[in-house]
Amino acid sequence: MENMIYLDGVSKEYKKGDVGLQDISLSIERGEFVSLVGQSGAGKTTIIKILLGEKKPSKGAVFFDSIDITKIPSRKLNQFRRKIGVVFQDFRLLPDKTVFENVAFAMEASGKIDEDIKKDVPYVLKLVGLEEKVDRFPRELSSGQKQRVAIARAIVNQPDLIIADEPTGNLDPINADEIIEIFKRINSMGTTVILTTHNKSIVDRLDGRVITMEGGRITRDTTKGGFVL
């Protein structure tokens, strides 16, 4: 496998002297499924924002497909971010758009033509089990269904990487397990997945690579199963 992501000596300090990250060096291979775990304030969100180009590290370099993203000009960041799909805990759906329209909106924003939208949106909605909900609005969906729409929106442009930031935080255990199964299916199709979570049972069930963070540092990096907090 080849490295997709490489953080080289990355630190992030904030104005009041708060430290977000301390000398992080980390590589993630193409096609990996990585769980990033730790308590609130451990540094997980800071890593995600740096990977998305929303924040720049105070020192160090961040490589994505061998390109140092800290040096990408602001005007080109949107183009870079098309390589990444993001799923949030709070869904972030557009309330006045249907399921189909919410997913299609991501393709429209990327400049995709109508023909591709009509073909690809139904495909990803079927992949997440929502092919019969295309005309529903978010208010008519359960929390689990809303998260499935968010996942469909994140993958419809076929990104190289999916970042799932606490995607099961608002879900009951049954829906949470179903959402994780969808991410596993996406990963099996070749997409790299980074999952941040507090949920120990989910990480144990995945039985994959786990990176544990504390105080802005990586305290543990295991290739199989489980984490200790």
What is the secondary structure of 150-213 as a DSSP string?
A: HHHHHHTT--SEEEEESTTTTS-HHHHHHHHHHHHHHHHTT-EEEEEES-HHHHHHHTSEEEEE
Question: How far is it, in rounded angstroms, from Cα 192 to Cα 30?
Answer: 6
Q: What's the average model confidence in pLDDT over 216-220?
A: 95
Model confidence at 14, pLDDT cuts 50, 70, 90, reads confident
Pairing of strands 209-214, 217-222: antiparallel
Please check the confidence at residue 225 and state whether its pLDDT lies above 80: no
Note the pLDDT of residue 229: 46
Which stretch, 38-47, 119-128, 163-172, 219-228, has highest mean pLDDT? Answer: 119-128
Of 27, 33, 36, which is closest to residue 2 (Cα–Cα)? 27
Lowest mean pLDDT among 29-33, 106-110, 112-116, 196-200: 196-200
Question: How far is it, in rounded angstroms, from Cα 158 to Cα 81?
Answer: 12
Total-model pTM: 0.91
Please check the confidence at residue 228 and state whether its pLDDT lies above 60: no
Q: What's the average model confidence in pLDDT over 6-26?
A: 90
Contact 31, 57 (CB under 8 A): no
